Amino acid sequence: MNAATQPRPQPQTPRDEAYNFAYLDEQTKRMIRRGLLKAVAIPGYQVPFGGREMPLPYGWGTGGMQLTAAILGAEDVLKVIDQGADDTTNAVSIRRFFARTAGVATTERTPEATIIQTRHRIPETPLHADQIMVYQVPIPEPLRFIEPSETETRTMHALNDYGVMHVKLYEDIATFGHIATAYAYPVTVDERYVMDPSPIPKFDNPKLDMSSALMLFGAGREKRLYAVPPFTRVTSLDFEDHPFEVQKWEHSCAICGSHDSFLDELILDDQGTQSFVCSDTDYCAQRVSQGRAGQ
């Protein structure tokens, strides 16, 4: 419980009083919280909500931002990551947005944060029970690729009719010899609803299972939200003779030397020299500060 023992980060910027706290009006935030209660009560079930216009385009995290705005309190410490990094444009902008409209403290340190908004990664540092993950989801419907009709997919969810989910995995094995789906890998939540865990790499799927943190998912364009409550069984779909596997790398991180984190490939020059570094920048920086180094 680092958040409790360490001094809480103080807000860096004062709140802009021209906006309501966290940008959205109070009625909207209540509406989203009602949706979230329902989503937590039915793990993995997609709850429709009245998505609002946000001051940035769809696909940039509007769903996640609305959820964050709805659950944000003045005491919260916010961390935003994009592709695992804290310093990319999207992450910096969203962090600054909430620092200005809600006046909350922000951090890049995973253990210090109480709310972590993310698109592509779950932090490598294990989460604890005081934390809430908020995911930005582009396509919430895992059945969409095989069944374009919305009414039909809802019926399939309602009737637990998920046979077609394995058709995609079958196609992968038939085409590539193994399950080639590397991100947005479908999972079954609490042995009932099949859920798209947003575009996280399948490397992060095992972190969803029995996690002590609350996971909230928001899709702004499709106006859906869903949730995985703490300590919920989350299993990735697979075949008996082609079990679920996560990505592995032969390399270790060039900066911190980590062997078991998710690595990004960097091309260093025109000759195609590769280098691999941790995708989670905070995890990497913490390891370096503890005196670990790569080659």
Partner 1 sequence: MNAAQQIDRDAVSDRTQPLLKVRGLTKLYGPEKGCQDVSFELYPGEVLGIVGESGSGKSTLLSLLSGRCPPDSGVIDYRLADTHKSAGQWLDLYSASEAERRTLLRTEWGFVEQNPRDGLRMAVSAGANIGERLMAQGVRNYQALRAAGLDWLNQVEIDPARIDDLPRTFSGGMQQRLQIARNLVSGPRLVFMDEPTGGLDVSVQARLLDLMRGLVRELDLAVVIVTHDLAVARLLADRLMVMRRSHVVETGLTDQILDDPQHPYSQLLVSSVLQP
Q: Which residues bind partner 1 (CB under 8 A)?
A: 146, 155, 159-164, 166-168, 170-171, 173-175, 238-242
Question: Are the C-beta atoms of 81 and 121 separated by less than 8 Å?
Answer: yes
Confirm if 56 and 63 have CB atoms less than 8 A apart: no
In the chain, how long is the greatest CA-to-CA distance? Answer: 59
d(CA 7, CA 104): 15
Q: Which is nearer to partner 1, 156 or 200 (CB)?
A: 156
Instruction: Identify which of residues 167 and 267 has a Cβ nearer to partner 1 in the complex.
Output: 167
Smallest gap from residue 165 Cβ to partner 1 (A):
8
Q: How far is the CB of 237 from partner 1 (least distance, A)?
A: 9
- In 3D space, the residue among 244, 135, 90 whose CA is nearest the CA of residue 179 turns out to be 244
Tell whether the torsion through CA atoms of 162, 165, 166 and 171 is positive or negative. positive
Nearest approach in angstroms of CB 13 to partner 1 is: 50
Which amino acids are annotated catalytic? 44, 253, 256, 278, 284
Q: Using CB atoms within 10 Å of the CB of residue 221, give its burial: 0 to 12 exposed, 13 to 18 middle, 19+ buried.
A: middle
Closest CB to partner 1 among residues 231, 239: 239
- Residues 79, 1: contact at Cβ < 8 Å? no
Shortest reach from residue 159's CB to partner 1, in Å = 5
Q: Which is nearer to partner 1, 58 or 162 (CB)?
A: 162
